[in-house]
Amino acid sequence: MSTKKTTKTTAKTAATKTTAATTPPAKSAAKKTAAPAKKAAAAKKAPAPAKKAAAAKKAPAAKKATAPAANKAPAAKKPPESHAALVRRARRINRELADVYSYAHPELDFENPFELLVATVLSAQTTDLRVNQTTPRLFAKYPTPEDLAAAVPEEVEELIRPTGFFRAKTKSIMGLAKALRDDFGGEVPGRIDDLVKLPGVGRKTAFVVLGNAFGVPGITVDTHFGRLVRRWKWTEETDPVKVETAVAALFPKSEWTMLSHRVIFHGRRICHSRKPACGACPIAPLCPSYGEGETDPEKAKKLLKYEMGGFPGQRLKPPPDYPGKPAPPLAAG
């Protein structure tokens, strides 16, 4: 009996071991079978490499686009300049220019109001230098309004040909000479209302004559003056009469004539139309348009004109305090 029981017990034990030994491999096989299936399913769900790359590219772009908008505060707007501040800045610019151009003067050669009037009319659409090179022969032949009024037009045209538009200019200067002879006793009037009635004479020409021949204050708005006062934000007006009115309100009347000379001097020598010499500008700290031109000091120096650049000026007979060289006559120019 005991032998039989022992035999049965041994058999059961062996069977149990056999089952235990064989069961794990079956489960392991099932796990191995299931693993590839899960990987395949995961592979189906996962995006293709190209899609992953596209998604990766889009993500940084989205961050870059949204991050600055979230972090960057809106730029504070600069408050507009008050009228009082504008007056202070404009007058300071004028003082600075007075130091730089203490010798500022009308750049047309003349001996009397008649010569200045004719020279100013001839200066339209040409340089003062060209006018100064042309008028000596003209005034040598026609020194008075009466002489010019009685001239032969073709002869006058030939004399003033170098100034350009010589036919139209001949008509203007002979017309104003006749008006001076017939209406003003051969004298140039000292009132703007009378001057602007003369052929070829506008407000700009009238103020040149009044300010420099009669000592009557006036603002001369030429292309240089208009360009600079807009760059300095003294006004945004483009019409010469409106520019004149706006600028006149910033300065005492006693400054008008010399202010005009200084601004025009600066426009011809430093603050040029196409390429201002910002790096050589004495009023750069006061200029809201600084940087429109060349800011490198050495390069800017090469842009300076007339006496500022070491070259002759525009007058053949400059005033005694002029620091530059006189302009050459027409034959030498």
Residues forming the active site: 204, 222
Q: Are 308 and 269 in contact (CB under 8 A)?
A: yes
Q: What are phi and psi of 168, to 5 degrees?
A: -65, -40
List Cβ neighbours of 209 (8 Å cut-off, separation of 6 or more).
113, 116, 117, 120, 188, 195
HSE value, Cβ hemisphere, 13 Å, CA-based, for 128:
24
**90 in helix, strand or coil?**
helix
Tokens representing 252 are: 């005492």
Q: Are 102 and 299 in contact (CB under 8 A)?
A: no
Alpha-carbon distance of 75 to 199, in angstroms, equals: 54
Tokens representing 311 are: 């070259």
Which bin fits 125, alpha (ψ -120 to 50), beta or left (φ > 0)? left
- The sign one gets for the Cα dihedral 141, 147, 150, 156 is positive
Q: Is 41 exposed, middle or buried (0-12, 13-18, 19+ CB in 10 A)?
A: exposed
Tokens representing 321 are: 């305090």
HSE value, Cβ hemisphere, 13 Å, CA-based, for 307:
19
